[in-house]
């Protein structure tokens, strides 16, 4: 399995700006597993956005903060299950996040069901209503959904410091929660 590390650097993606809030570079690590054997080739581009490749080979590892890179996997089967985990700390942690949250024998159907159950039990069933108007119900539950979407609970996933306290962070801010108060016509139909 090739080892791909791509550093997401808002400071370099746009040479004109470091991203809206001028944050420094931050990295997402990932760990992917397939349920079928594969062969691979890897590539690295001439820049972040070009189609032009500098290398396309059997190289097992690439690391870059200035060029697009990736891997091409080939399989002998028609249907492949792919599981991917992420982490802000390391690839090892991405792998352990993956194994603990989406174990090898889990199906997509089961994952969807468990996610739905988690949202229902931890968020949507916390309020009750006698409202029957579908538009208003859509607004209520959509607002609850967006309120709980961010900031992300990154406890244990903070690369900046260790602490016994929880850590929450996201690419959007507290301020952006205003978006959970959306217009009713967004939910028609």
Partner 1 sequence: MIDIWRHDGWVSDARSSLYNGAVQGGSNGDNVFADAYVKGVRGNVNWDDAYSAMVKNAEVEPPNNNDPRDPTGSTREGRSAIPDWLEYGFITPRFGRSVSRAVE
Under the rule (CB under 8 A), what is the footprint of partner 1? 10, 19-24, 26, 88, 151, 158-161, 163, 165-167, 169-175
- CA distance linking residue 4 with residue 27, whole number of Å: 12
- CA distance linking residue 21 with residue 163, whole number of Å: 25
Residue 158 phi/psi, 5-degree rounding, is -95, 110
The residue among 128 and 161 lying less far from partner 1, judged by its C-beta, is 161
**Shortest gap between Cβ of 66 and partner 1 (angstroms)?**
19
**Shortest gap between Cβ of 151 and partner 1 (angstroms)?**
8
- Residue 149 is encoded by which pair of tokens? 């979407």
By the 8 A CB rule, do 35 and 50 touch?
Answer: no
The residue among 47 and 163 lying less far from partner 1, judged by its C-beta, is 163
**Shortest gap between Cβ of 159 and partner 1 (angstroms)?**
7
The residue among 160 and 188 lying less far from partner 1, judged by its C-beta, is 160
Provide the residue count of the chain. Answer: 189
Tell me the chain's radius of gyration from C-alpha atoms: 21
By the 8 A CB rule, do 173 and 128 touch?
Answer: no
The residue among 2 and 159 lying less far from partner 1, judged by its C-beta, is 159
**Shortest gap between Cβ of 15 and partner 1 (angstroms)?**
13
**Shortest gap between Cβ of 157 and partner 1 (angstroms)?**
10
**Shortest gap between Cβ of 149 and partner 1 (angstroms)?**
14
Nearest partner of 67 among 49, 42, 48, judged by Cα: 48
Nearest partner of 167 among 179, 183, 177, 156, judged by Cα: 156
The residue among 65 and 99 lying less far from partner 1, judged by its C-beta, is 65
The residue among 81 and 180 lying less far from partner 1, judged by its C-beta, is 180
Angle at 30 between CA 76 and CA 106, to 5 degrees: 60
Angle at 33 between CA 30 and CA 38, to 5 degrees: 125
């Amino acid at each position: 399995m090739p080892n791909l590390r791509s550093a997401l650097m808002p400071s370099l993606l746009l040479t004109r700006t470091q991203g809206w809030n001028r944050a420094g570079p931050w990295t997402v690590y990932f760990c992917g597993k397939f349920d079928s054997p594969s062969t691979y080739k890897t590539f690295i581009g001439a820049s972040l956005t070009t189609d032009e490749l500098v290398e396309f080979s059997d190289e097992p590892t690439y690391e870059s903060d200035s060029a697009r890179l990736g891997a091409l996997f080939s399989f002998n089967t028609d249907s492949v299950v792919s599981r991917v985990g992420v982490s802000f700390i390391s690839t090892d942690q991405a792998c352990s996040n993956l194994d603990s949250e989406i174990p090898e024998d889990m199906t997509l159907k089961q994952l969807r069901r468990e996610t739905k159950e988690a949202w229902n039990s931890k968020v949507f069933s916390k309020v009750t209503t006698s409202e029957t108007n579908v538009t208003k119900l859509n607004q209520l539950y959509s607002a609850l959904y967006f309120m709980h979407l961010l900031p992300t609970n990154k406890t244990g996933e903070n690369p900046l410091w260790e602490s016994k306290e929880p850590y929450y962070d996201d690419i959007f801010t507290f301020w952006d929660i205003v978006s959970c108060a959306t217009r009713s016509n967004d939910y028609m139909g």
